[in-house]
């Protein structure tokens, strides 16, 4: 009991310090982006996957410098960037956010920092497609639910294939599964601009404007950002960035009213093209994986931290719930039952979203780590509670009675007779739950944490390669779970003295040996 | 039988019912220290409930039970309070109970089964408890089984171990709820022998049994229960040879006819 109290106090202390840290504010410019947002916007440096690079990263850094602030990066899933902004996870968000009416309803936008268009790409030797209209009756790949998809639908009669990952689209185009690919120009350029088998055709299509999102109430910040953007444009710093990334296009020239030829080399683009030319040798691939290992290692630690914290929480709360359900007066027990039913009956993904994005609106704010650990912990507690309860009920009532008949109090009977037997019953399902939790912890990647799953996404998007990193991640997950499986086996065997009666051997073998005689 | 011994168990007007009806009706009787009483009667007559009430595994509805000077009494409709539950617990620690299905703790060895309650309940030092437990095992003829697990024992051995476990708490009275019903016929004798030995040592014992021969030979008196009441209550020989009640006669006739006795 004392230990439990200390544990709870510790939890509260850690929680409150985590909250306090968040409240702390210096002269910082925190900005939200998605490290998987994709090239060339922002992505982990292929040479050092811990470093985030991209033309938008350069823009933010220049912007912060112009504003005299220190940029602080906050990672978030792209589709959650705007909710995260309104949840005050960061001051501004920049990551290829388009100025759409829907977005404008919930946040303000700075003046656009970049304008671009959609680019059609076909195979080198294909001369049949020159414009969008030529695509009728052909297979065209594009990004799911994008502006590009809308345009293709307007043309009609096109066999549209939508993708989540742009890299796959260009691979399919190169190997003939597609006839054309239709993407934002920067994506097209960084996906295939250096690929000798693919060429860009047709005029620029459509117009896309990227701007910085700022909370509605932060009017002063909006003005400040706009002033800084104008200053960066006028000083030529923005153009420098675009030149370096090979993103200076006629559209931008018109936008900035600057038709002078580029003075500096497209160094960033060239680096990218160098590392991404197709047909990497096997040895080079292995080298890359080696480079990614530290990043995977760190992500594995995050996964373990979240999982173990969540499991401790789940076991403690689960035990409390189970004991309440079994021993407390009926009306208190029914509260525990209700908790279990509600938590088990709703998706953990929704629970995590609710804790991280929903609770702040009533003033409860957790760091991503604690939101993840608490969310998973609360969820698994419901399952744990049911396991413990069934463990208790698996012990025959006569055991309880004979303990009482020996003069034990209820608590003594529980502690000495029922629980030791119940533990043996519940160890396998608890282990099972922990392994399941370890995998479910991948859900924390949606609340800005870089765990193993997120790292897989980041590194794969960077390398253009979902194969090798996928195997690496799978192996890491397996290795993380293995010690727990082993531990469970060991305890199960150690505690299975009951069944070691020589006649039948270990419980596991009962059915196996008996079938021999059938 | 020692007539000058004072009453150890006094039960007065004990009533007990469950949701589906009354099980015990106004049961009253007295047992003196050192006596061995057998309870016989048809299935469902309330024998087991009576035993469970005696050691307060079931709380009586009304009446009173007095065991070794500890008295629990309840008026009809009285809500049990903390004090009553404390007394129930006190009675339980004066009474040893042996169940039909032995109910040994499967996660503990035989010696651990015996040592558990004295160590946990009475907080006796381990060495002392161990010594006592080994003596008890010797007494029930299981000396070589101390470190075995219950699952490796036969039924007779298990039941003898269960008796030793109950004795370890130094109870004033031992209750047996059909202790031999689950045993193979050839194993019944060894368990009954332990009870006879205890009787010789002066232990007060109440046994619910279907072993008519044992009841007749070993008991100081026999209680015949039927339909929640004590129908007859007499010396073994008298009850078997000259039962007063028609119900007793019918029950005994049934046993003679079926050859179970």
Residue-wise pLDDT tens digits, A226-285: 999 999 999 989 999 999 998 888 888 888 888 888 888 888 888 888 777 655 667 777
Who among B57, B103, B121 is closest to A408 (CB)? B121
Of A409, A421, A497, the CB nearest to B89: A409
Which of A404, A406, A498 has the most B C-beta neighbours within 10 Å, making it the best mutation to test the interface with B?
A: A406
Per DSSP, the three-state class of A201 is strand
Mean pLDDT of all residues in chain A? Answer: 84
Alpha carbons A167 and A465: distance in angstroms, whole number: 9
Label residue B261 by pLDDT band (50, 70, 90).
very low
Candidates A401, A409, A498; nearest CB to B107: A498
Range A158-163, long-range pairs (CB < 8 A, 24+ positions): none
Q: Which residue in A has a C-alpha nearest to residue B86's C-alpha? A: A409
pLDDT score, position A502 = 42
The residue of chain B nearest to residue A401, with distances taken between CA atoms, is B57
Q: How confident is the model at residue A500 (pLDDT cuts 50, 70, 90)?
A: very low
CA-nearest residue to B164 within chain A is A406
Q: Which of these, A86, A123, A124, A128, lies nearest to A105 by C-alpha position?
A: A86
Residue B193 near residue B159 (C-beta atoms within 8 A) = no
Q: Which of A38-52, A189-203, A370-384, A427-441 has the lowest mean pLDDT?
A: A38-52
How many other CB atoms sit within 10 Å of the CB of residue A14?
A: 15
Handedness of CA B239, B245, B248, B254 (dihedral sign): positive
pLDDT at residue A503, as a whole number: 40
Task: Using CB atoms, pick whichever of A398, A420, A498 lies closest to residue B149.
Answer: A498
- Determine which of B51, B55, B88, B117 to mutate to test the interface with A (most A C-beta atoms within 10 Å): B117
pLDDT at A4: 56
Judged against a pLDDT cut of 80, whether residue A47 lies above it is answered with no
Selecting from B97, B105, B107 the residue whose C-beta is nearest the C-beta of A405 gives B97
At B60 the pLDDT is 92
C-alpha dist (Å) from residue B214 to A466, B159, B195: 81, 17, 10
pLDDT-derived band at A35, boundaries 50, 70, 90: confident
**Partner-chain contact B116 A416, CB within 8 Å:** yes
Which range, of A157-171, A371-385, A397-411, averages the lowest pLDDT? A157-171
Q: Is B121 in Cβ contact with A406 (below 8 Å)? A: yes
pLDDT tops 90 at residue A446: no
User: What pLDDT is stored for residue A363 in this prediction?
Assistant: 86
A518: pLDDT strictly greater than 60: no
Q: What is the reported pLDDT for A12?
A: 55
Q: Tell me if A501 and B151 make a contact (CB, 8 A cut-off).
A: yes
Q: Which of A391, A399, A407 to mutate to test the interface with B (most CBs of B within 10 A)?
A: A407
> Is pLDDT at A448 greater than 90 in this prediction?
no
Cβ separation of A401 and B120 shorter than 8 Å?
Answer: no
What's the pLDDT score for residue A263? 81
Q: Is the pLDDT of residue B212 over 90?
A: no
Give the least confident one: A61-75, A137-151, B46-60. Answer: A137-151
Residues B161-172 have a mean pLDDT of: 95
Chain B contacts to A (CB-CB under 8 A): 55, 57, 89, 92-93, 95-97, 99, 101, 103, 105-107, 116-117, 120-121, 149, 151-152, 162, 165-166, 169
A48 has a pLDDT exceeding 70 = yes
Quote the Cα angle for B239-B242-B243, to 5°. 55
**Chain B residues with beta carbon closer than 8 angstroms to that of A412:** 120-121
How large is the average pLDDT for residues A321-344?
91
Q: Mutation test of the interface with chain B: which of A394, A397, A399, A405, choosing the one with the most B Cβ atoms within 10 A?
A: A405
- Residue A182's pLDDT is 92
pLDDT at A517: 47
Q: Strands B204-208 and B36-40, how do they pair? A: parallel
Residue-level pLDDT at A5: 61
Please give the residue that has the higher pLDDT: either B221 or B175: B175
State what percent of residues in chain B have pLDDT above 90. Answer: 60
Measured between CB atoms, which of A412, A499, A501 is closest to B120?
A412
> What crossing angle do the helices spanning A368-394 and A282-327 adopt, rounded to 10°?
50
Chain B contacts of A398, Cβ < 8 Å?
99, 101, 103
CA-CA distance, A481 to A473, in Å (whole number)?
Answer: 12
Chain A partners of B117 at a C-beta cutoff of 8 Å?
406-408
Between chains, do B101 and A398 touch, taking CB under 8 Å as contact? yes
Which of the four pLDDT bands, split at 50, 70 and 90, describes residue A478?
very high
The whole-number pLDDT of residue B93 equals 87
Which one is predicted more confidently, A14 or A96?
A96
Judge: A417–B165 Cβ closer than 8 Å, yes or no.
Answer: no
Q: Which residues of A touch B172 (CB under 8 A)?
A: none
Average pLDDT over residues A304-324: 93
Closest CA to B139 of B103, B164, B110: B164
pLDDT, residue A507, reads 53
Question: Residues B162-188: what's their mean pLDDT?
Answer: 92
Residues B180-202: what's their mean pLDDT? 90
Identify whether the C-beta of residue A167 lies closer than 8 Å to the C-beta of residue A461.
yes
* Tokens read off for A227: 């002033």
H or E element in which residue A433 lies: helix A419-440
Q: Are A408 and B95 within 8 A, CB to CB?
A: no
On the question of pLDDT at A505 being above 60, the answer is no
Q: Choose the most confident range, by mean pLDDT, from A97-106, A316-325, B247-256.
A: A316-325
3-class secondary structure, A8? helix
Question: Stretch B53-79: mean pLDDT, rounded?
Answer: 92
Strands A48-53 and A43-45: antiparallel
The residues on A that touch B, with CB distances below 8 Å, are 398-399, 401-409, 412, 416-417, 420-421, 424, 495, 497-503
Answer yes or no: do B93 and A407 touch at CB < 8 A. Answer: yes
State how far residue B114 is from chain A, nearest Cα, in angstroms.
Answer: 10
Most confident segment among A47-61, A111-125, A157-171: A111-125
Terminal Cα distance for chain B, rounded: 23
Q: Residue B49: pLDDT above 80? A: yes
Q: Are A87 and A39 in contact (CB under 8 A)?
A: no
Lowest mean pLDDT across A79-93, A140-154, B217-231:
A140-154
Number of Cβ pairs < 8 A linking chain A and chain B:
69
C-alpha closest to that of A434 among A426, A444, A424: A426
Q: Which chain A positions have a beta carbon within 8 Å of B149's beta carbon?
A: 497-498, 500-501
pLDDT at B162 over 90: yes
**In chain A, pLDDT over 90 holds for what percent of residues?**
32
Non-local (6+) Cβ contacts of A450 within 8 A are A35, A75, A298, A299, A302, A458
Residues A3-33 have pLDDT tens digits of 556 655 555 555 555 544 454 445 789 999 9
Q: What percent of chain A has pLDDT over 70?
A: 89
Q: What are the C-alpha distances in Å from A330 to residues A387, B85, B237?
A: 20, 20, 52
Nearest CA distance, B119 vs chain A (angstrom): 10
CA distance A440 to chain B (A): 34
What is the DSSP pairing of strand A159-163 with strand A139-143?
parallel
Q: CA–CA distance from A26 to each of A22, A72, A75, A158, B41 (Å)?
A: 11, 11, 19, 53, 87
Provide the pLDDT for residue A515.
47
Of A192, A195, A182, A209, give the one whose Cα is nearest residue A118.
Answer: A182
Candidates B106, B123, B172: best to mutate against A (most CBs of A within 10 A) is B106
Q: Is the pLDDT of residue A337 over 90?
A: yes
């Amino acid at each position: 009991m004392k230990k439990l109290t200390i544990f709870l106090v510790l939890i509260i202390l850690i929680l409150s310090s985590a909250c306090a840290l968040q409240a702390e504010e210096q002269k910082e410019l925190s900005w939200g982006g998605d490290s998987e947002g994709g090239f060339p916007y922002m992505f982990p440096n292929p040479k050092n996957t811990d470093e985030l690079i991209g033309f938008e990263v350069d823009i933010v850094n220049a912007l912060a410098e112009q504003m005299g602030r220190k940029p602080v990066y906050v990672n978030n899933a792209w589709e959650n960037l705007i909710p995260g902004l309104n949840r005050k996870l960061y001051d501004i968000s920049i990551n290829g956010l388009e100025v759409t009416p829907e977005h404008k309803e919930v946040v303000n936008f700075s003046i656009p920092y970049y304008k671009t268009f959609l680019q059609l790409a076909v195979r080198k030797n294909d001369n049949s497609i020159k414009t969008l209209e030529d695509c009728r009756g052909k297979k065209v790949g594009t990004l799911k639910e994008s502006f590009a998809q809308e345009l293709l639908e307007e043309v009609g009669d096109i066999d549209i294939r939508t993708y989540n990952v742009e890299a796959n689209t260009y691979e399919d185009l190169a190997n003939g599964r597609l006839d054309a690919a239709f993407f934002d120009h920067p994506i097209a350029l960084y996906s295939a601009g250096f690929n000798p088998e693919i060429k860009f055709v047709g005029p620029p299509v459509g117009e896309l404007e990227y701007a910085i999102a700022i909370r509605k109430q932060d009017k002063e910040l909006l003005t400040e950002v706009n002033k800084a953007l104008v200053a960066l444009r006028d000083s030529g710093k923005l153009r420098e960035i675009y030149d370096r990334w090979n993103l200076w296009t006629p559209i931008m020239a018109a936008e900035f009213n600057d038709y002078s030829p580029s003075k500096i080399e497209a160094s960033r683009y060239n680096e990218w093209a160098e590392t991404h030319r197709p047909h990497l040798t096997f040895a080079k691939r292995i080298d890359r994986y080696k480079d990614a290992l530290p990043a995977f290692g760190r992500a594995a630690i995050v996964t373990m931290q979240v999982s173990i914290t969540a499991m401790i929480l789940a076991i403690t709360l689960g035990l409390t719930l189970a004991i309440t359900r079994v021993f407390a007066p009926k009306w208190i027990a029914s509260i525990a039952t209700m908790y279990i039913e509600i938590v088990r009956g709703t998706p953990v993904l929704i629970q995590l979203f609710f804790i991280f994005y929903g609770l702040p609106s009533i003033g409860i704010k957790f760091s991503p780590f604690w939101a993840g650990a608490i969310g998973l912990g609360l969820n698994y507690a419901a399952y744990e509670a049911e396991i413990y309860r069934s463990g208790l009920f698996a012990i025959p009532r006569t055991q309880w009675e004979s303990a009482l008949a020996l003069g034990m109090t209820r608590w003594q009977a529980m502690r000495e007779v029922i629980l030791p037997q119940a533990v043996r019953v519940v160890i396998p399902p608890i282990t099972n739950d922990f392994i399941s939790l370890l995998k479910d912890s991948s859900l924390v990647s949606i609340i800005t944490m870089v765990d193993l799953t997120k790292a897989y996404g980041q590194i794969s998007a960077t390398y253009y390669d979902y194969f090798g990193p996928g195997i690496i991640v799978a192996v890491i997950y397996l290795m993380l779970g293995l010690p727990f499986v082993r531990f469970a086996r060991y305890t199960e065997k150690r505690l299975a003295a009951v069944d070691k009666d020589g006649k039948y051997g270990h419980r596991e073998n009962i059915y196996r040996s008996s079938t021999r005689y059938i | 039988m020692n007539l000058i011994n004072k009453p150890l168990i006094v039960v007065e007007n004990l009533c007990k019912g469950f949701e589906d009806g009354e099980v015990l009706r106004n049961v009253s009787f007295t047992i003196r220290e050192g006596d061995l009483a057998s309870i016989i009667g048809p299935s469902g007559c309330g024998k087991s409930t009576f035993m469970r009430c005696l050691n307060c595994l079931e709380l009586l509805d009304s009446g009173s039970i007095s065991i070794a000077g500890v008295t629990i009494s309840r008026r009809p409709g009285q809500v049990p309070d903390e004090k009553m539950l404390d007394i129930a617990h006190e009675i339980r620690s004066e009474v040893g109970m042996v169940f039909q299905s032995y109910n040994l703790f499967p996660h503990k060895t035989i010696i651990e089964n015996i040592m558990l309650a004295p160590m946990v309940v009475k907080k006796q030092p381990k060495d002392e408890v161990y010594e006592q437990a080994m003596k008890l095992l010797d007494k029930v003829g299981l000396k070589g089984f101390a470190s075995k697990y219950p699952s490796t024992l036969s039924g007779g051995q298990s039941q003898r171990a269960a008796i030793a476990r109950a004795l370890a708490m130094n109870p004033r009275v031992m209750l047996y709820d059909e202790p031999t019903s689950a045993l193979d016929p050839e194993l019944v004798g060894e368990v009954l022998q332990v009870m006879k030995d205890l009787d010789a040592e002066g232990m007060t014992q109440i046994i619910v049994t279907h072993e008519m021969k044992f009841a007749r030979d070993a008991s100081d008196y026999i209680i015949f229960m039927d339909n929640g009441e004590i129908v007859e209550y007499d010396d073994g020989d008298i009850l078997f040879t000259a039962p007063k009640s028609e119900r007793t006669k019918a029950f005994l006739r049934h046993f003679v006819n079926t050859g179970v006795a």
